[in-house]
Amino acid sequence: MRKVTLLLHLVAAMSVLAQSTDRCLYVQSIGDTLTVIPSDYVVGYAKDADGAYVMLSTGKTLVIPGGESIAEECPVELPQFASYRFNNKHNDQLFQSVAASEEELLQDTIRLSVAQIGKYLTATFQLTDEEATAWVDSVRQESKVTRQRMEAPVTYTIGRASWRQLQITEEATGIFSYKYVPFGRQKTVCVDFLTDHPTSQYNVPRIDITTVTGSVPMSKTTYISGTIAIDGSGVYPDMPATDILIKGRGNTSWSGSANSKNPYHFKFAEKQKPLGMTSGKHWILLPNKQTGSMLCNALEQKASALAGCAAVCHIVPVELYINGQYRGSYNLTEKVGFHNNSVSLDDESCAAMLELDTYTDETIWRSNAYKVSTKIHDPDFDANDTTIVITKADVIADWDDALQTLRYGDNEDYTGRFDVSRLVSYLFANELCYNTELQHPKSVFLYSENVLDDGFKLTGVDETPWVFGPMWDCDWSFGYMIGSSSYFVNCAEEGYYKKFFKPCLNGFWYDLRFKSQEVDKAYYTLWHNFLADGRLEELIDYVGDYYDYAAPSLSHNTKSVVNERDASNYTTIAKNAKEWFRKRANYVYGTLDPYDIEEEEQTEAVIPCIIDTEDDISLVSASNEGVAAVYNLAGQRMRKMQRGINIVGGKKVLR
C-alpha cells in the first residue's frame, strides 16, 4: 500500500476533481462491476496492472482490484422503468388498477392517484434492461411481490446488481462511516391517496336505498323491490339509481324491529361493480351493531388477506340511508358463495361450499366423524339448475370421508384431503384474531371444486381438496367475551388451539392444527415470515389508516334513528387495536415449537462496508466477506442483534 499511496500523492495534483454534488468518479472492473465515488470526496486517483486506487478527502484510500478504467463521465446507459403500475390483483384493497403513462415514465417523478384504504402497495413494473433491477433504500424490489408503504414519496434506484456507489457519512463525533449503496437511475413515485381528501361530509361513500314499499326491509326470506344510488365521495366511482331487490339477513344480528340496525342482502338483476369492486349480483350491508365492533370486520378481513386466506372479502365503510332516513355506519362487502366477486371457479358443476354452523334455520347434518353441524351453502339444489351434476349425497359423502381421514387416518393422511396452505392461513388468521366463533362452530366456510374427484383413494392426494375460507364474522373476536364485552383489551396473551379448542367438537380443530408435522411446520413458517417480512407492521398501520378514513362516519353513527347507537371511543379502540395486535403476534410466535426454515437466498445489491482506523483502507468488495456485522433496517450497525428484525450477512434475521 505504501507504493500506491506514493503514486496517489504524485498524481493528486493532476487528477483532483472539482467539488460538485452532481459529479462522480466511475471505476469499471472485470465482470461489469461499476464503482461510483462522489467527487466531493475524491482528491486523487490512479490505476496500475492490479487495479484502481482512489484517494479520499477523509484520508482513506479505496482499492478496487481489477479496476480497468477510470472516468469522470458515466460510461454506461442507465436503465429505467418500461412500465409501472399498481395492479388490483396484487393489492387487496385496490379495486381498480392504476398505471403510469408512457410520458410519465420518462419523467424523474411518477405521480399516481390511488383509491384504496391503507398506504401499502405492491408495484408491478418492467425495466428497460433485462439485467437490471430496482432498489428502494438498498432493498431489492420484486415486481408483483414487494410491498412498500407509500404515504411519502418513494425513490427507486434502477441499475444492475454489479453497480455500486460509495456513501460516506460524517458522524457527530467527526468519524466517517462508509458503505456501498446501489447505483443507477433515480425515479421517485408519489402516490396521492384519495382517502386523504374525500369530498363527502363524513368521508366515506353514501348509499341511498329507496324501496317501493317506503319502509325498511322486514323479512329475511322475501325480497322487496327498490333502487340503490351511491356517492363514492370522490374516492370510489359513483353509481346512479339502479334497480335492486333487498331483504334482511343474519342470525343474532337480525332483529324484527324496524328501529334496529339490521344487516341486509341486496342483489342486482345483472352483475354490477359498486364502488368499482369486482362485478357481482349479490352484496351485503353489515351493520356492526355490537357496541365497539365497527372496526372488527375490516381488521379481520385485512388480517386474513395478509395471511393468504382464500376468497377474502373486502370491507368499505359507508353511510346508509333508506328512504331518505339515516340508518347508520355500515360496511359494504361481497356475499360469500360461488360468485365471481366471492369464490370464483372456472367450473361449478361439481363444486360445493359448506358452512359449519349451529343455527338450525337451514338443513344441517352431523353424520361426520366429529359430529360437526354442517349445511350446504352452495349449490342451491332447489333451484333446478341443470348445470349441476352432483347431488346432496355426493357432497355429504366427500366431506364425511375427508373427516374420517382426519380423525382415524394416520397423522399425515388428512393433508391429502385439505389444501394445506389455505388451511394454515385460515388457522393462522383465526388465532391471530382470537376468533371464538370457531368453537360453536359458526360462520365457518369451506369449499371443494369437485366433490366427485376420487383421486385420493387411488393416489393419496385429492386433486381438488377442501379449501377453508373465506373467513367471516368476527363479532366474538379480539378479546370480546361474556362478562367483558370490550374489544382489543383481553386475550392478547391467551392460548388458543391447545388451550381453547382441544376439548371442542371432539378435537376437530385441534386435530386439524396439530396432527400433521407438515401443517405444524407450515404454521410456524407463516408466523415467522409474518413478523419478519413486514406484514404485522402493515396490519398495525392499516388500523390507523382505516380509522382515520372512517372516523367521521363512526361518530355520525350516534345520530342514527336506530336503537344501536354506538358511542364508543374509537380513537381509544384503534390505539388499543395496534397494541393488541403487536402483543398478540409476539405472544403466539413465542409459544410455537420452532423449525429450521430454509431462508430464501437474497441477493442484496450491497452490504455496508466496515472501515477500520488504518491510514490506507481496502474496500475490496461489497460483500465484506468474513465480517459478521449486524445492522438494523435503517442500515445502522449494531453492537449485537436486537429483538426484532436484523440484517446479518445480507439476510433478514428475526430474533
Residues 375 and 511 in one domain: yes
Task: Tell whether 372 and 508 lie within a shared domain.
Answer: yes
pLDDT reading at 507 higher than 90: no
385 pLDDT tier (thresholds 50, 70, 90): confident
> Residue 607 CB: number of other CB atoms within 10 A?
23
Which is more confidently placed, 479 or 1?
Answer: 479
Domain boundary among 71, 89, 112: 71
Span 380-398, mean pLDDT?
90
Q: Any residues with CB less than 8 A from the CB of 178 and at least 6 apart, and which?
A: 60, 166, 167, 168, 169, 609, 611, 619
> Are residues 362 and 500 part of one domain?
yes
Question: Does the bond joining 594 to the residue before it have cis omega, within 30 degrees of 0?
Answer: no
HSE-up of residue 541 (Cα within 13 Å, Cβ side): 15
In a domain, 81, yes or no: no
Instruction: Report how many domains make up the chain.
Output: 3
Whether 259 maps to a domain, the answer reads no
Mean pLDDT, residues 525-548: 97
Model confidence at 498, in pLDDT bands (50, 70, 90)?
A: confident
Alpha helices in 516-569 (DSSP H): 517-532, 535-556
Residue 315 belongs to some domain of the structure? no
* Choice among 323-327, 442-446, 590-594, 629-633 with the minimum mean pLDDT: 629-633
Q: Among 486, 515, 544, where does a domain finish?
A: 515
Question: Domain boundary residue among 484, 500, 515?
Answer: 515
What percent of the chain is predicted at pLDDT more than 70? 85
Q: Is residue 380 part of a domain?
A: yes
Put residue 509 in one of left, alpha, beta given phi > 0 → left and psi -120 to 50 → alpha. alpha
Block residue for cell numbers 460524517:
170
Q: What is the pLDDT of residues 144-177, one digit of tens each?
A: 999 999 999 999 999 999 999 999 998 888 888 8
Statement to judge: residues 361 and 510 lie in one domain: yes
What is the pLDDT confidence band of residue 632, given thresholds at 50, 70 and 90? low
Task: Please indicate, yes or no, if residue 419 is contained in any of the structural domains.
Answer: yes
Give the Å distances, CA to CA, from 218 to 214, 222, 248, 562, 629: 12, 9, 6, 14, 67
Residues 363 and 498 both lie in one domain: yes
Q: What domain range is 655 assigned to?
A: 631-655
Q: What is the pTM of this model?
A: 0.88
What digits encode the pLDDT tens for the residues 210-237? 999 999 999 999 999 999 999 999 999 9
Tell me, yes or no, whether 461 lies in a domain: yes
Higher-pLDDT residue of 20, 331: 331
In a domain, 113, yes or no: no
Q: Is 521 within the bounds of a domain?
A: no
